[in-house]
Amino acid sequence: MKGWSEVHGSCYRLLLGSVTQSTAQANCLAIGGSLALVSSAAELAAVQVFIQAEGLGPTNGVWVDGSDAAQEGTWLTSFGDVMAYLGWTGPNGGANANCVRLHGQDVSDENCDDVGGIDAALCEL
């Protein structure tokens, strides 16, 4: 599809802009995808290379799918499935940080309504 890139067996597209995670998801849905669900270390590495190739560097934050807003410590996809892979050794943001953000080579949990340090959303078909 035009505007989408195949990476690690999936199609991805970066939507630039500082938005909340829920707005990022809505924007992805509006173009026929959803926020990307990173489900393995290999996929995470491939996605990070793609993000850098698209011009975003290690200081740029990118929303991906995942939240523990319903129950702290239980990470779910936007479709309600338990996330089997998180990409970190342990979340670091506490009870007010409930959404997953890629930041260079790091994966962290951030405040879902924070737009500071967020530069894009990673959408997946």
Residue-by-residue DSSP string for 47-109: HHHHHHHTT--TT-EEEEEEE-SSSTT--B-TTSPBPS--SSSS--S-TT--EEEEETTEEEE
For residue 87, the model assigns a pLDDT of 85
Structure tokens at 61: 């934050």
For residue 89, the model assigns a pLDDT of 63
In the chain, where the domains are located: 18-124
For residue 116, the model assigns a pLDDT of 87
Ranges of residues in the chain with a pLDDT under 70 are 89-92
The superfamily CATH assigns to domain 18-124 is Mannose-Binding Protein A, subunit A (3.10.100.10)
Of 50, 63, 44, 49, nearest in space to 122 by CA:
63
For residue 92, the model assigns a pLDDT of 65
DSSP H or E stretch at residue 7: strand 5-7
